[in-house]
Amino acid sequence: MLGSFRSNVAVGIAALVGIAGLSYVLAVKAEPPERQTALVEFTADGKLKQPVDYRKWVYVGEVITPNDMNGGEATFPEFHSVYMDPEGFAQYEKTGKFRDGTVLIKELSSVGAKEAASGMGYFQGEFTGLEAAIKDSKRFKDEPGSWAYFSFGHKYPLKAETSKNVASACNQCHQDSAKTDWVFSQYYPVLRAAAARSK
Ligand code: HEC
């Protein structure tokens, strides 16, 4: 009797220790400290490191400039999937403005199939490229609108880190043609809907 009580206690304690150990492991795994500090990271000489985790951000729109409608090679081939950092998006919903520190990512992917069960069309193929736009009035105070633009290339493997582009290469076209503060919100229905809620 006593023996089985003792062994039950032993099993109980073992289970508790096991559960405590497991929850500790989960807590550590769920929050890697290096991911909590910054949305994006820069090298000591100011290059942007290739962003991680952006596919978990807010997906604001999809544009396609297929090669076959652009003389065989689009400037940004072909699908452009645009993501915005979640805190920046939350602020945008409240104010209709891009907060200081906003990060927008444009991920490129190829056209794969042109026909599927749903009909003829352009169906996403493989990831091919990555661009970023960052608004930061301290770090990029000399850039028009405080927006800096980065490209990690249009072919895998992408660059691990990259310098910002000169304003004439990227910023200028955004300044001239984008609807809201250098951002092409006219093509992102999710941003238009969010801006409407801010009013
Ligand atoms: C000739 C005009 C033009 C130039 C030059 C240009 N872009 Fe854009 N960019 C656009 C348009 C239009 C969009 C809207 C969505 C799309 O087509 O991808 C866009 C969207 C973006 C986005 C998504 C966020 C936003 O602002 O709408 C990023 C990031 C971006 N471009 C990066 C770059 C980078 C990096 C360069 C320079 C290498 C660059 N762009 C040069 C026209 C341009």
> What tens digit of pLDDT does each residue of 48-68 get?
999 999 999 999 999 999 999
Q: What is the mean pLDDT of the chain?
A: 88
Atom 10, ligand 1: which residue's CA is nearest? 174
CA of 1 to the centre of ligand 1 (A): 76
Q: What is the pLDDT of residue 1?
A: 46
Atom 3, ligand 1: which residue's CA is nearest? 173
Q: Where is pLDDT greater, at 6 or 42?
A: 42
Q: What is the pLDDT of residue 4?
A: 52
Yes or no: say if 184 and 199 are a contact pair by the CB < 8 Å rule: no
Cα dihedral value 178, 169, 150, 196, nearest 10: 0
> What tens digit of pLDDT does each residue of 128-181 get?
999 999 999 999 999 999 999 999 999 999 999 999 999 999 999 999 999 999
State the first-to-last Cα distance of the chain, in angstroms, to the nearest integer.
Answer: 72
Q: What is the pLDDT of residue 188?
A: 98
Q: Express as a percent the part of the chain with pLDDT over 70.
A: 81
Q: How confident is the model at residue 24 (pLDDT cuts 50, 70, 90)?
A: very low
CA of 143 to the centre of ligand 1 (A): 15
Task: Tell me the C-alpha distance between 86 and 30, whole Å.
Answer: 18
Q: Which ligand 1 atom is the nearest neighbour of the CA of 182? A: 26
Q: What is the pLDDT of residue 33?
A: 47
Answer yes or no: is the C-beta of 63 below 6 A from any ligand 1 atom. yes
> What tens digit of pLDDT does each residue of 188-198 get?
999 999 999 88
Atom 6, ligand 1: which residue's CA is nearest? 170
Atom 1, ligand 1: which residue's CA is nearest? 173
Residue 23 in this model has a pLDDT that exceeds 50: no
Yes or no: say if 111 and 78 are a contact pair by the CB < 8 Å rule: yes
Q: Which ligand 1 atom is the nearest neighbour of the CA of 147? A: 26
